Structure 1
Amino acid sequence: MSAQSAKDKPIKVLWLTSSYPRSKDDSASVFLRYLAEALADQKVNLHILSPDHPEVQANTQPDGIVCQHFRYFWPLKLQMLAYGSGILPNLRAAPWLFLQVPFFITSMFVNAAWIMVVQRPSLIHAHWIFPQGTVAVLLGKLFRVPVLVTAHGGDAFALRGSLVGAIKRWTINHCAAWTSNTNATADAFGPDLPKPQIIPMGIDYEKFAAGNAKAVLKPNSQQKTILLFVGRLVEKKGVADLIAAVAGLPKNLLDRIELWIIGDGVERERLKTLAVDLKIENKVVFHGRLPNAILPDYYAAADIFIAPSIVDTNGDTEGQGVILLEAMASKIPVISTNTGGIAEVIENRKTGLLVNTKAPEEIKQAIELLVADKELRVSLRIAGQRLAESYDWEKRAVKFVSLYMVTRDGS
């Protein structure tokens, strides 16, 4: 076969991931689904291996994508390690789940090895350095196939113990190439590692730019100033600080405010109790987990988006903040915190407002500023939307396809 014809061959890739949408309405790691679909449009053939879960539903995939879920524990209803709040928060909330970890890793390895034997992909792409990246590198050595690993944030900032840290560094040193969503994520793995290619995760720009506020606004909400948070309700998202900030608003502003919290997780009941304790339970609406397809309507209905992320007690924080880009695409001014990779997405007072972490007073002041300063709101909307458009998945997919070709061909 000539060199030219080899390069023209369709790229056949095995994806390993610890999270992937379990149904067409699921928002769990939905950014991976968007990336997969954009890659399929670029004629990449993907076989995606992700964990099984009681909420997995039969779901027709686009041409070029096969999605397989590996079972790792019995009975099915006890497979609770992945999804929900995420593996690490799930382990902290229910330590007995540590019993499932070896079964999880073993089942992923065995199922992936079988796919390698039957499908013969030309490349393995692992999302998150550990454990997927480590399993992928071992498979790559076994089957003599190049391996690409991608760091998304939680794998960098959390799990920094000496043993796991050494495993993660070994993984990076033994893969063919690796990518990171931000420089902050890459730097968190430590010095003296091969340099990654920085490829931020993207968004479906057109989808979020086309939200319909009227679809979700009730008559009594139309005169309100809607503050919006979207994300998992876990410690590192800092939602407790947001609730405290809203409680601190002056009465004349608080009377006009409604805080919408979309998402679910281990912190939900604690956050509801906090709202009651601060006497603003009638100002906070917990929408729970909503289908991803209708999220653009909620963004469109909001006036200000707030992502008050922090560094949690285990050192985990935000790797990039894709949710901020979704808000920007929806023409909403955003407020977030200067932690992790967020400052690589938001330029303070240019594309959003940045405040310090764990500073409810600063969040409160930022809300007051945006409510009072119409000119600033408009400038942030315009600049934010322009930035969000540059993160459209089609542009991200082109970068990954180029990297796939280089990694596959060893050039």
Structure 2
Amino acid sequence: MANEIKKSLLVTLDFPPNNVGGVATFYYNVCKNLPPDKIVVLAPDHPDANNFDQKQHFTIIRKKLLNQFPQKMPAGLGGIIKIAATVRWLSLIKNLNEIVKTHQIKLIQVGQVLPIGTLALVLKKRLKIPYIFYAHGLDILLPQKFMRKKTILKNIIKESSGIVANSHFTKDELLKLGANNGQVTVVYPGANIKNHHVADSEIAALIKKHQLENKKILLTVGRLVERKGHDVVIKSLPAIIKKIPNITYLIVGDGPRKTQLVNLVHQLRLGHYVQFVDRVANSILPAYYQLADVFIMPSRRINGYDVEGFGIVFIEANLFGKPVIGGRSGGVGEAIVDGQTGILVNPTSEEEVSRSVIKLLTDPALAERLGLQGMERALRDFDWQTQTKKIKDLLS
């Protein structure tokens, strides 16, 4: 007989509807796949939270958490804010004590190793409540730049009852910080969209909207940040255009690098070949994947710590039978099986990027084979039920 799942409290700064990014979606899907009477979530308050929370089968408690101070403060308020932060910490610890006792919590799930992991350490000492935490890559790499944070991180790792890593890459980084091999469980993200049939009318509407008749479509979906490599794809386009003059590069997403990327497109006179599409809802995203001929995101490591921990978008593109091209860095090599579901490239090499795009767009049989193999793997290995089973085992 399997061990019963312990009732746990997930404390996280990222949870819908506050945030619908990869981390928030990951935690939401984990909670949806746990028995509703075995999970309670503590997440930041949000104007739309009540409407969202009422639709869920599990309990969600909303409080102002540690990240909900102003990002920019008027001069002279720094000391007041520091005092307020201390009060907030003490208040949050008190709230956690009450939640643990009221809901008979047996284990804490830590959504952010810093700062939430520090609270879990306190609770473990005070109430003898064990905790596990999740690691996604950047969250354990960035603190290592600062001696104090690195020391705290190592203590959190040492005292944890288990760690969930989003890839073997992330697991290896944890081992370097002192984690034990048996302490870390790799749980890949499940796909955030379904590979449902996309109606011909939806595709036709996108083709008309973006003027894509008789075009070969190159697609990237993701935040416009430096590590994603949009700039490398843009710089590789002139070489691609020489071989495939009817190509269009669709960039779906928003973020801080948009202005720089738009300027780069203008500098290279590629306005006719590149289109920026604001972030789209998950309900519309399948049509963009279906429309694409090749998905590309040559992610690279920035400043030693900013890296792609996994790359669920590659799995999502594979779900629609699309071949993918990704940067050989971080955990991307686990999302893409090189030569089987897509192609891994040197993420800083415009020549490798252009050569790989041309190869897939001029060899339909190869593109179809990689896409179909990717679809089979995505359906087999990356559904939420399969991945969440590993977390259930950890919570038992």
Which category describes the TM-score, using the shorter chain as reference length?
A: 0.7 to 0.9
Asked if residue 103 in structure 1 is aligned to residue 91 in structure 2, the reply is no
Asked if residue 376 in structure 1 is aligned to residue 366 in structure 2, the reply is yes
2:170 corresponds to: 185
On the 8 A contact 2:317/2:324 being kept in 1, the answer is: yes
Deviation for aligned residue 1:212: 4.2
Match of 1:218 among 207, 210, 232: 207
Letter in 2 for 1:15: L
Gaps of 5+ in 1: 82-95, 406-411
1:76-95 CA distances to partner (integer Å, 9 max, x unpaired)?
8x7569xxxxxxxxxxxxxx
Letter in 1 for 2:179: L
Which range moves more in the overlay, 359-368 or 182-191?
Answer: 182-191
In structure 2, the CA distance between the partners of 1:362 and 1:70, relative to structure 1 (3 Å rule), is farther
Letter in 2 for 1:48: V
1:87 corresponds to: none
2:75 corresponds to: none
Distance 2:83 2:286 in 1: 36
Deviation for aligned residue 1:309: 0.7
Q: Count the aligned residue pairs.
A: 377
Deviation for aligned residue 1:311: 0.8
Which range moves more in the overlay, 106-115 or 12-21?
Answer: 106-115
Q: What pairs with 1:201-240 in structure 2 (closer than 5 Å)?
A: 201-204=189-192, 207-212=194-199, 214-216=201-203, 217-219=206-208, 220-240=211-231
Deviation for aligned residue 1:381: 0.9
1:270-289 CA distances to partner (integer Å, 9 max, x unpaired)?
11111111111232222112
Deviation for aligned residue 1:396: 1.0
Distance 1:119 1:173 in 2: 27
Asked if residue 394 in structure 1 is aligned to residue 385 in structure 2, the reply is yes
1:214-253 CA distances to partner (integer Å, 9 max, x unpaired)?
4142233142111111111112212211221224323451
Distance 1:271 1:101 in 2: 41
Which range moves more in the overlay, 165-174 or 285-294?
Answer: 285-294
In structure 2, the CA distance between the partners of 1:165 and 1:374, relative to structure 1 (3 Å rule), is same
Question: What's the RMSD between the two structures over aligned residues?
Answer: 2.9
In structure 2, the CA distance between the partners of 1:79 and 1:36, relative to structure 1 (3 Å rule), is farther
Distance 1:266 1:364 in 2: 25
Distance 2:96 2:233 in 1: 42
On the 8 A contact 2:108/2:131 being kept in 1, the answer is: yes
1:119-169 CA distances to partner (integer Å, 9 max, x unpaired)?
232211112422223322322332222211111111133222222222111
Q: Identity of aligned pairs, percent?
A: 28
Q: What pairs with 1:3-402 in structure 2 (closer than 5 Å)?
A: 7-8=3-4, 11-22=6-17, 26-27=20-21, 29-39=24-34, 42-43=35-36, 45-52=38-45, 58-72=51-65, 79=70, 103=85, 106=89, 109-161=93-145, 162-189=147-174, 190=176, 192-195=178-181, 196-204=184-192, 207-212=194-199, 214-216=201-203, 217-219=206-208, 220-251=211-242, 253=244, 255-313=245-303, 315-389=305-379, 390-402=381-393
Distance 1:149 1:51 in 2: 18
Secondary structure at 1:233 match in 2: coil
Q: Structure 1 length as normaliser, TM-score?
A: 0.82
Distance 2:318 2:395 in 1: 29
On the 8 A contact 1:212/1:296 being kept in 2, the answer is: no
In structure 2, the CA distance between the partners of 1:100 and 1:313, relative to structure 1 (3 Å rule), is farther
On the 8 A contact 1:213/1:300 being kept in 2, the answer is: no
In structure 2, the CA distance between the partners of 1:294 and 1:34, relative to structure 1 (3 Å rule), is farther
Deviation for aligned residue 1:199: 1.7
